[in-house]
Amino acid sequence: MNVVAQFGIYQGKELSDTELNEILTSELRARFFDRAVSYLVRSPKTEFQVRRYLKDLAFKKKGKWFEDISKEDISSIEEFVVKKLLEYEYLNDEKYAQMFVESRIKNKPRGKNILYGELVSKGVSKDIIEKVLEETLGDEYSVLVATYRKKFKEEKITFEDRKKIDFLRRKGFNWDLIEKYINNESSK
């Protein structure tokens, strides 16, 4: 909404310091919200990533959008923007985590350990990560098999194949799963 209309400003109207500060805060909230939405349009993000973006934006725009504003005011603007984004469901860490895991399984198969670490680095809570990995990843063994076959085709694997075992470990698969796969392959 236009600030002039929102605050009933007209030529010659006297504004108190409180009203001026309120107008500035309202304008900054709108600008930060617009920028956050533009940031989210490019690709989904987590709440943590948006908060970091807003902090960076405040640092970059100091002197351009505002001169002297307290950290508390910036923090309250950040809270306002995040609350609005959550309210409009533009931010949802659980949906983000599901999309991320599904995309990784499809395009760059990884084990549970790697996916867990990637989601933690994006600021997703551990509870959400565990829930999403349980629901979305499903059978990690089949992901391991697909990852192995994509790289090594129909080559057999044994306990002496350090290169192949290390490859699977780097992809985030735990030893128990790798051992199960080697035992299944050697029994064929």
Same domain? For 20 and 74 the reply is yes
Which pLDDT belongs to residue 4?
Answer: 66
Residue with tokens 């002496």: 160
Q: Which pTM does this prediction carry?
A: 0.80
Q: How far apart are CA 179 and CA 164, in angstroms?
A: 12
- Is residue 73 domain-shared with residue 24, that is, in the same domain? yes
Per-position pLDDT tens, the chain of length 188: 566 666 667 677 776 777 777 878 888 899 999 999 999 999 999 999 999 999 999 888 777 667 777 778 889 999 999 999 999 999 999 999 999 999 998 898 899 999 999 999 999 999 999 999 999 887 889 899 989 999 999 889 999 999 999 999 999 999 999 999 999 987 76
Kindly report the three-state secondary structure assignment for every residue of the chain.
CCHHHHCCCCCCCCCCHHHHHHHHHHHHHHHHHHHHHHHHHHCCCCHHHHHHHHHHHHHHHECCCECCCCHHHHHHHHHHHHHHHHHCCCCCHHHHHHHHHHHHHHHCCCCHHHHHHHHHHCCCCHHHHHHHHHHHHCCHHHHHHHHHHHHHCCCCCCCCCHHHHHHHHHCCCCHHHHHHHHHHHHCC
| Domain of residue 79, residue span | 3-87
Of 87, 121, 137, the residue that ends a domain is: 87
CATH (domain of 66) = 1.10.10.10
| Same domain membership, residue 107 and residue 24 | no
- Per-residue confidence (pLDDT) for residue 14, from 0 to 100: 74
Quote the tokens at residue 10.
Answer: 């007209």
